[in-house]
């Protein structure tokens, strides 16, 4: 689907808008379904007439009726093939369109939102829920036409005998009372099942991604126990939900079956009185199953609407700026960024939220409630300045706020108050393009995609020339490694770069950042997980950038930042001191102690 209009909020994200793009195939799906339903009705009535003529010894007429029935059946089978073709082709297209826009919306969310929600929550909303909706929409069409068919057959049976028709209506009313209760309970239980399944999905994703760490640390048993808790929770919820659903379904079916036998007894009584013929009794007995199907189909229809409602709510939640908070940008553009960075009286508090369903408000039972469960003020009036094309480092104990500074600097987090400036412009006023082009971030564990080395690099700059790519590879000290590969730069690196070592991942991430040629490059603990040789290679790559970009480094290992222009020494969210490595080593006892402990 080519969405010309940009979807920006929940109101614009409507399922109907996606269906409109495929009006013609949807029209034919309805048309063929209608004709198929008509074929089913005609074959049923013709079969009934054939039975009637057989009992009257009119074999020739019965044969003609059966041949006509065969022709209509063949037409129905052909139409069913066309229906399946339309469903397979266009349901996947609609699902793909929904998933694409949900994925685009997910890209707009801020980093804090991702940390507040599990991976499974996003995967289910972007992949599974659109699939569920398209499947349920198709099921609704099929069920509606089956209901029409069953209704016509029930009317036909009522036409054959009024008393039996009245009995059927009574059965349907009683069974539907039970069915309505079943649907109400199932709707509540289905939400619980989906939420529990999200947790399982998130944990499974984490286990798959961290397989090496799990084995190396001997965490198999611990994580197996943790998985068991999640699966036990899911099992209990699923079992309770299924048992309740099955119990009410059984009651509904018992009503239908008991009254079904009663209708047959009534039929025998009416035959004895001469009110109906044996042929009519046989027809009623043959198609009384439509009574059961009618009640079940209504329940299935309501089930479909429940699944769609819940899936739609889950997808729409991605557009709810209270639970899934989006990044906000200004409209100011910077054509040439020098790379000056400044924090002015920045305050930031980290909040941890808990989301729950509001069950008291009957009008908004599905609205998630956001509740603060803990808070931790990281910075209060933090101020510092970094000059363009200089290399600076932030050091301090764990929890001192180093990585939070980088997140605020790159607008992954938003300050509660104060200003974060780039070239004297508040980053909240910058448009998205200016901000993203200004900064490249190399994380401690950079994500490398399941592509070739070249394709991973081209993600950073789609139109990069071979010369630019090779220059980035050389500067990142990656060339020697690539030269050893049989396919060189066209070597696939596996999911999350599994075929690469930690140092190779880091250097590839640096090459990616270099290719973007950003005026500001941030390194967040980029060498902390590397051995000394890999660390030295990455350090050389970073040193090669000095003077060309503003480089900001967060490091645990103080030996890796000896040559930077300035070091900011943090303690509990406060800059205690700043200066060169030599200056801090001479005058700051805490800094000196950190370095000496590291080098013991």
Mean pLDDT for the chain overall: 81
Q: What is the pLDDT of residue 361?
A: 43
In a domain, 218, yes or no: yes
Q: What is the pLDDT of residue 314?
A: 82
In a domain, 232, yes or no: yes
The last residue of a domain, from among 317, 351, 374: 317
The last residue of a domain, from among 317, 345, 362: 317
Which of 69-78, 94-103, 112-121, 417-426 has the least mean pLDDT?
Answer: 112-121
Same domain for 19 and 161, yes or no, is yes
Q: 74 vs 20, 41, 77, 157, 478, CA distance in Å?
A: 32, 14, 5, 25, 66
Q: Which residues pair with 425 in a beta bridge?
A: 422
Total domains in the chain come to 2
Same domain for 304 and 178, yes or no, is yes
Establish how many alpha carbons lie within 13 A of residue 165's alpha carbon, considering only the half-sphere containing its beta carbon: 15
Q: 160 vs 41, 131, 166, 279, CA distance in Å?
A: 15, 44, 12, 11
CA distance 452 to 429: 37
Q: What is the pLDDT of residue 61?
A: 92
User: Is pLDDT of 383 > 90?
Assistant: yes
Give me the long-range contacts of 295-299 (CB less than 8 A, separation at least 24): 295/171, 295/172, 295/175, 295/176, 295/179, 295/252, 295/256, 296/179, 296/252, 297/143, 297/146, 297/147, 297/150, 298/147, 298/176, 298/179, 299/179, 299/182, 299/183, 299/249, 299/252
Same domain for 395 and 309, yes or no, is no
Q: 217 vs 212, 224, 274, 385, CA distance in Å?
A: 8, 14, 84, 42
In a domain, 289, yes or no: yes
Please report, to the nearest 10 degrees, the dihedral formed by the alpha carbons of residues 197, 201, 204, 210 taken in order: -150
User: 0.85 cut: is pTM over it?
Assistant: no
Same domain for 281 and 414, yes or no, is no
SS3 189: helix
In a domain, 286, yes or no: yes
pLDDT tens-digit series, residues 475-525: 777 888 888 888 888 988 887 777 887 778 888 888 888 888 788 988 887
CA distance 482 to 504: 10
CA distance 561 to 555: 7
Same domain for 81 and 161, yes or no, is yes
Q: Are strands 520-524 and 550-554 parallel, antiparallel or unpaired?
A: parallel
What value does the mean pLDDT take over residues 353-365?
Answer: 52
Which of 78-92, 420-434, 583-597 has the least mean pLDDT?
Answer: 583-597
pLDDT tens-digit series, residues 247-293: 888 888 788 778 878 888 888 888 888 887 777 787 777 766 666 67
CATH (domain of 179): 1.20.1560.10
The answer to whether residues 178 and 246 touch, using CB atoms and an 8 Å cutoff, is no
Same domain for 312 and 425, yes or no, is no
CATH (domain of 538): 3.40.50.300
User: For residue 237, what are its two tokens?
Assistant: 């919820």
Q: Which of 569, 578, 574 is nearest to 381 (CA)?
A: 574
In a domain, 262, yes or no: yes
Same domain for 303 and 396, yes or no, is no
Same domain for 279 and 399, yes or no, is no
CA distance 453 to 493: 7
Boundaries of domain holding 434: 388-598
pLDDT tens-digit series, residues 315-325: 888 887 777 88
* Helix or strand holding residue 505 (H, E): helix 502-516
In a domain, 476, yes or no: yes
Alpha helices per DSSP H over 274-379: 278-287, 289-317
Same domain for 287 and 420, yes or no, is no
The last residue of a domain, from among 266, 297, 317: 317
pLDDT tens-digit series, residues 324-338: 888 888 899 888 888
Higher pLDDT, 122 or 579: 579
Same domain for 286 and 146, yes or no, is yes
Q: In percent, how much of the chain has pLDDT > 90? A: 13
pLDDT tens-digit series, residues 170-193: 888 888 888 788 877 877 787 778
Same domain for 313 and 461, yes or no, is no
Q: Which of 48, 36, 249 is nearest to 144 (CA)?
A: 36
Q: 499 vs 286, 329, 345, 402, 452, CA distance in Å?
A: 64, 37, 44, 30, 11
Same domain for 262 and 397, yes or no, is no
Q: Which of 287, 117, 326 is nearest to 201 (CA)?
A: 117
The answer to whether residues 506 and 527 touch, using CB atoms and an 8 Å cutoff, is yes
Q: Dihedral sign, CA of 244, 247, 250, 256?
A: negative
Q: What is the pLDDT of residue 206?
A: 67
In a domain, 376, yes or no: no
Cβ–Cβ contacts within 10 Å for residue 150, how many?
Answer: 24
Cβ–Cβ contacts within 10 Å for residue 190, how many?
Answer: 19
CA distance 101 to 265: 58
The answer to whether residues 518 and 549 touch, using CB atoms and an 8 Å cutoff, is yes
In a domain, 357, yes or no: no
Cβ–Cβ contacts within 10 Å for residue 431, how many?
Answer: 13
Highest mean pLDDT among 440-449, 527-536, 581-590 belongs to 581-590
pLDDT tens-digit series, residues 64-87: 999 999 999 999 999 989 998 998
Q: What is the pLDDT of residue 277?
A: 77
Q: What is the pLDDT of residue 319?
A: 83
């Amino acid at each position: 689907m080519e969405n010309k209009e940009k979807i920006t909020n929940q109101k614009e994200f409507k399922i109907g808008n996606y269906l409109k793009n495929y009006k013609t195939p949807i029209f034919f799906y309805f048309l063929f379904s209608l004709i198929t339903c008509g074929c089913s009705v005609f074959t049923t009535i013709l079969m009934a007439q054939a039975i009637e003529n057989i009992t009257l010894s009119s074999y020739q007429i019965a044969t003609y009726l059966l041949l006509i029935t065969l022709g209509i059946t063949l037409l129905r089978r052909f139409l069913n093939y066309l229906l399946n073709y339309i469903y397979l082709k266009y349901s996947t297209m609609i699902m793909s369109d929904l998933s694409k826009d949900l994925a685009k919306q997910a890209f707009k969310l801020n980093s804090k939102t991702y940390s507040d929600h599990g991976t499974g929550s996003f995967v289910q909303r972007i992949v599974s829920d659109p699939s569920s909706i398209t499947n349920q929409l198709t099921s609704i069409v099929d069920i509606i036409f089956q209901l029409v068919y069953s209704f016509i057959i029930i009317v036909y049976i009522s036409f054959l005998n009024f008393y039996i028709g009245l009995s059927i209506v009574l059965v349907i009313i009683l069974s539907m009372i039970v069915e309505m209760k079943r649907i109400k309970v199932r709707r509540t239980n289905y939400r619980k099942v989906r939420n529990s399944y999200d947790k399982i999905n998130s944990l499974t994703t984490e286990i798959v991604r961290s397989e090496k760490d799990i084995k190396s640390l001997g965490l198999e048993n611990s994580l197996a126990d943790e998985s068991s808790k999640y699966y036990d929770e899911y099992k209990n919820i699923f079992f309770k939900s299924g048992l309740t659903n099955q119990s009410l379904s059984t009651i509904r079916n018992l009503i239908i079956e008991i009254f079904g036998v009663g209708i047959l007894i009534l039929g025998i009584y009416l035959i004895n009185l001469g009110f109906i013929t044996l042929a009519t009794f046989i027809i009623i007995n043959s198609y009384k199953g439509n009574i059961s199907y009618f009640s079940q189909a209504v329940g299935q229809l309501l089930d479909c609407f429940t699944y769609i409602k819940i899936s739609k709510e889950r997808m729409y939640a991605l557009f709810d700026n209270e639970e899934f908070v989006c990044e906000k940008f200004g409209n100011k553009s910077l054509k040439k960024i020098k790379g000056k960075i400044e924090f002015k009286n920045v305050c930031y508090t980290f909040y941890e939220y808990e989301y729950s369903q509001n069950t008291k408000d009957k009008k908004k039972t599905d609205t998630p409630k956001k509740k603060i469960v803990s808070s931790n003020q990281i910075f209060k009036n933090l101020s510092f300045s970094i000059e363009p094309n200089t290399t600076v480092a932030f050091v301090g104990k764990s929890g001192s706020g180093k990585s939070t500074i980088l997140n605020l600097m790159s607008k992954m987090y938003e300050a509660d108050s104060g200003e974060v400036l780039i070239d004297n412009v508040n980053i909240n006023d910058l448009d998205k393009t200016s901000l993203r082009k200004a900064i490249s971030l190399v994380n401690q564990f950079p994500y490398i995609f399941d592509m070739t080395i070249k394709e991973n690099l081209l993600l950073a700059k789609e139109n990069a020339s071979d010369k630019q790519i090779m220059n980035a590879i050389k500067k990142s000290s990656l060339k020697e490694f690539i030269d050893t590969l049989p396919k060189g730069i066209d070597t696939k690196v596996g999911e999350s770069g599994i075929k690469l070592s930690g140092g190779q991942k880091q250097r590839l991430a640096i090459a990616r950042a270099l290719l973007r040629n950003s005026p500001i490059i941030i390194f967040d603990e980029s060498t902390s997980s590397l051995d000394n040789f890999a660390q030295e290679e990455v350090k050389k790559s970073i040193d090669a950038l000095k003077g060309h970009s503003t480089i900001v480094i967060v490091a645990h290992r103080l030996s890796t930042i000896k040559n930077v222009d300035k070091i900011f020494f943090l303690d509990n969210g406060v800059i205690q001191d700043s200066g060169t490595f030599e200056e801090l080593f001479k005058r700051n006892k805490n800094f000196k102690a950190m370095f000496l402990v590291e080098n013991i």
